[in-house]
Amino acid sequence: MTMIDFLSGEVLLIDKPLNWTSFDVVNKIRYLLKHHLGIKKIKVGHAGTLDPLASGLVIVCTGKFTKKIDEYQGMTKEYIANVRFGATTPTYDLESEPDGTFPFEHIGKNDLKNVLTEKFSGEIEQVPPAFSAIKVKGQKAYELARKGNKVELKSRKVTIHNIDITRFDMPDVTLDIKCSKGTYIRSLAHDIGKALNSGAHLTGLRRTCIGDFSVDDAININDLEKKLFGS
């Protein structure tokens, strides 16, 4: 790829590692472009945030292709989600310690299947996590939540196109999920636990697809510089 390629517009598929933010990925690519190509200014943006504790596909656009970010953000997403029953956390994942414990021995695989079919299929109402980047009176919700403020977010309609159980080993299960833009998998895990008269939180998440883009075609962040510039 040349400077002209990046300036005219490129779409990069990145396999984001754990503990990186989506903005870390963007900043890394921006730095590499400036360093290797001698570009002082270049537009770089990502098409959809992925939590630091999640791995997988992030679409990064450069140059004129940043105009396509909204289009890519609107595409369906696919995830592999690891969910643990028996406990909830304030962040709905492993970022925080458990704040409640619940029985889970009563949950069978058929119970989970039935709940997923009846309550988590098609268009559903979902309340985003308090620990999210949604703005509340000009501040990010997670900033308020971390200060101990009570954060109340409005529910929103999202669509679960498909959800399959690929592992059932209570208290841990793995779900393959295909969903619309704006779906919080952390909230989905929390809500599934509640629907089964238990509690649940996310213990692992990997985004595998965005539309027709697959993580199988993505560049590992550790190999990014070599694959882009051969160094």
- Domain check: are 91 and 155 in the same one? yes
- d(CA 116, CA 118) in angstroms, rounded, equals 6
Among residues 76, 180, 182, 165, the alpha carbon closest in space to that of 115 is found at 165
Task: Domain count for the chain, please give it.
Answer: 2
Among residues 17, 22, 88, 18, the alpha carbon closest in space to that of 53 is found at 18
SS3 (DSSP) at 129: coil
Residue whose entry in the numeric block shows the structure tokens 């989905």: 188
- Domain check: are 164 and 86 in the same one? yes
- d(CA 224, CA 32) in angstroms, rounded, equals 9
- d(CA 161, CA 156) in angstroms, rounded, equals 16
> Helical H runs in 99-203?
109-119, 141-146, 185-195
- d(CA 80, CA 166) in angstroms, rounded, equals 9
- Domain check: are 56 and 170 in the same one? no
- Domain check: are 197 and 177 in the same one? yes
Among residues 216, 151, 159, 215, the alpha carbon closest in space to that of 188 is found at 159
Region of 57 please: left (phi>0), alpha (psi -120 to 50) or beta. beta
At residue 4, the pLDDT reads 47
Per run of 10 residues, the mean pLDDT along the chain (length 231 residues) is: 59 94 91 79 88 94 90 96 97 93 98 98 90 68 66 86 98 98 95 98 97 95 77 55
- Domain check: are 126 and 50 in the same one? no
- Domain check: are 152 and 186 in the same one? yes
- Domain check: are 202 and 217 in the same one? no
- Could you tell me the residue range of the domain that residue 12 belongs to? 3-74+212-229
At residue 74, the pLDDT reads 94
- Domain check: are 68 and 121 in the same one? no
51 catalytic, yes or no?
yes
- Domain check: are 167 and 57 in the same one? no
- pTM of the predicted protein model: 0.90
At residue 187, the pLDDT reads 95
- Domain check: are 192 and 118 in the same one? yes
Q: Can you give the CATH number for the domain in which 90 is found?
A: 3.30.2350.10
- Domain check: are 107 and 153 in the same one? yes
- d(CA 61, CA 39) in angstroms, rounded, equals 16
Among residues 198, 205, 202, the alpha carbon closest in space to that of 111 is found at 198
User: Which of 15, 51, 93, 191 is flagged as catalytic?
Assistant: 51
Q: Mind giving me the DSSP string for 70-103?
A: HHHHTS-EEEEEEEEESEE-TTSSTTS---EE--
- Domain check: are 60 and 70 in the same one? yes
Please enumerate in sequence order all residues whose Cβ is within 8 A of that of 157, keeping only pairs 6 or more positions apart, or say none: 123, 124, 125, 126
Residue whose entry in the numeric block shows the structure tokens 């396509």: 68
